[in-house]
Amino acid sequence: MRKPAILGGEPAFKEPLHVGRPNLPDKNVFWKYVDRIFDSRWLTNNGPLVREFQEKLEKFLHVKYCVPVCNGTIALELAERALNFKDEVILPSYTFVATAHSLQWQRITPVFADISKFDVTIDSESIKKVLTPNTTGIIGVHVYGHPCDYKKIGSIADTHNINVLYDAAHSFGCEVDNIPIANLGRASVFSFHATKFFNSFEGGAVTTNDESLAEQIRLMTNFGFNGFEKDTVDYLGINGKMTEVSAAMGLAMLHSIESIRENNKQNFEKYREAITDIEGISLIEPPQNLTKHNWQYVIVLVDREQFGIDRDTLIQALEAENVLARRYFYPGCHQMQPYRECFPDYSLILPNTDIISAKVISFPTGQTIGQEEIIGIAECLQSISHNRNHFHG
Ligand code: T4K
């Protein structure tokens, strides 16, 4: 058995293996779209490529309306505002901090609910506990592409006459119970950040089946300008526009997306096979009703007692091997500022969030990772575990 690099052995990999290394499309396909930008001299403000991208996204996501925007965080803010979210909005603490910030930034109070420890999405019983007369909406996050319990969440929202928005930043190309994910709730938000399964450098979109909501968001994305009469503003708006070069990247990525999905799936299966016998390391499996998955994240939970080393020491040991694993998501948003200071007692009501976030590790996958790297990563885990007595974590 090899000696772990952190204990003086040779690193397993010469070059670092990153989580979040971008998936790239065929360069020639991308450049053809870029040529069109140069030919048209149209760089932004709902140009021809953004309009084409929008139409292709509506088809790909099987949703009536899609508004491409500059990033997922702005997409959240626009959707929240258009849905008239104010006062208090319920969301999971177990998410990327952008979900909470998008509310707080607009002076809406994020009210954190706990997650299910099985699929790590927001727990409907926990939602009921934190509902108040001031609750104006629920944001469900399909964490790692795992769909929220949309039936229960929908029924809570109907009972209380509030809207549901889904943060589908991780769910591009996913389906639940054979329903394309963008059809859940009043609206969904996607992120096309460089690190995502599908990227447009930076970018995002709001999707909905509600025509007037889509139109409102479209206008708000461009300062509220009414597109029909120049210089007429109908809403308070912002600059949330996507650029033509982002649309070019998105359009090119659509050509490659199924091969990226297939590569991710093969990687996930290889991880499953390679780490199955390592005690104390368990892979989070996609839920049964996720009928189409993008396999974007490879997430494991580390059981300190069984593995013999705590999660953070393991992350350091992997880093010495040039495996740059990440803690998505640690800590829960309630442990971050400004929420930690505003709501110091949150930990009392978010046990599953604290338990999962203390154990979670996200492993590298995507185009830059192949079967060989995964076998190498599993060997690192085995050798670290084998040498557990030499660690103090
Ligand atoms: N909702 C949810 C549930 C989200 O997960 C996110 C974003 C959002 C909303 C907001 O959407 P956006 O406004 O971002 O569109 C990264 C991403 O920046 C963020 O988009 C993503 N979630 C989050 C989960 O991950 P960081 O702070 O961890 O990124 P960073 O800079 O540490 O990069 C991650 C790794 O990727 C690094 O190890 C290096 C590698 N990388 C990164 C970039 C940008 C590359 O190799 N090349 C690159 O170009 O947030």
pLDDT of the residue at 227: 72
Higher-confidence position of 226 and 47: 47
Judgement on whether residues 234 and 293 belong to the same structural domain of the protein: no
Q: How far apart are CA 358 and CA 329, in angstroms?
A: 9
Helix or strand or coil: residue 53? Answer: helix
- Among 198, 200, 216, CA closest to 208: 216
- The rounded radius of gyration (Å) of the Cα atoms in the chain is 22
Does the pLDDT at position 258 exceed 80?
yes
Residue 386 lies in a domain: yes
pLDDT of amino acid 248: 98
Per-residue pLDDT band at 228 (split at 50, 70, 90) = low
Number of domains in the chain: 2
Express the helix, strand and coil content of the chain in percent, nearest 5 each.
45, 15, 40
Separation of alpha carbons 276 and 278, rounded Å: 6
Q: Cβ(193) to ligand 1 under 6 A?
A: yes
* 241 within 8 A of 69, measured Cβ to Cβ: yes
% of residues, the chain, pLDDT over 90? 94
| 230 CB burial (10 A radius; 0-12, 13-18, 19+) | exposed
Instruction: State whether 150 and 55 are in the same domain.
Output: yes
Q: What is the CATH number of the domain that holds 282?
A: 3.90.1150.10
Give the Å distance between the CA of 194 and the centre of ligand 1: 7
CB distance 294 to ligand 1 below 6 Å? no
248 CA distance to ligand 1 middle (Å): 20
Probe target for ligand 1 pocket from 19, 171, 195, 367, with the most ligand atoms within 8 Å of CB:
195
| Mean pLDDT score of the chain | 96
The answer on 341 and 312 residing in a single domain is yes
pTM above 0.85, yes or no: yes
On whether residue 19 sits in a domain, the answer given is no
> Is 393 a residue whose pLDDT tops 60?
no
- Domain range holding 164? 27-253
Last residue of a domain, one of 233, 253, 273: 253
At residue 216, the pLDDT reads 96
Among 253, 273, 298, where does a domain finish?
253
Is 15 within the bounds of a domain?
no
Flag whether 18 is in a domain: no
Two structure tokens written together for 135:
């609750």
Which of the listed residues 219, 253, 287 is the one where a domain comes to its end? Answer: 253
In a domain, 20, yes or no: no
- Contact assessment for residue 221 and residue 238, using Cβ atoms and an 8 Å cutoff: yes
Q: What is the pLDDT of residue 179?
A: 98
Q: How confident is the model at residue 182 (pLDDT cuts 50, 70, 90)?
A: very high
The stretches of the chain forming alpha helices (DSSP H) are: 27-40, 48-61, 72-82, 97-104, 124-130, 150-160, 211-221, 244-275, 304-307, 311-320, 339-342, 351-359, 371-386
Specify whether the CB–CB gap between 196 and 171 falls below 8 A: no
199 and 103 in a common domain: yes
Q: For ligand 1, say whether the CB of 95 is within 6 Å of any of its atoms.
A: yes
Pair 204, 221 in one domain: yes
* 61/182 same-domain check: yes
Examine residue 195 and state whether it is found in any structural domain, yes or no. Answer: yes
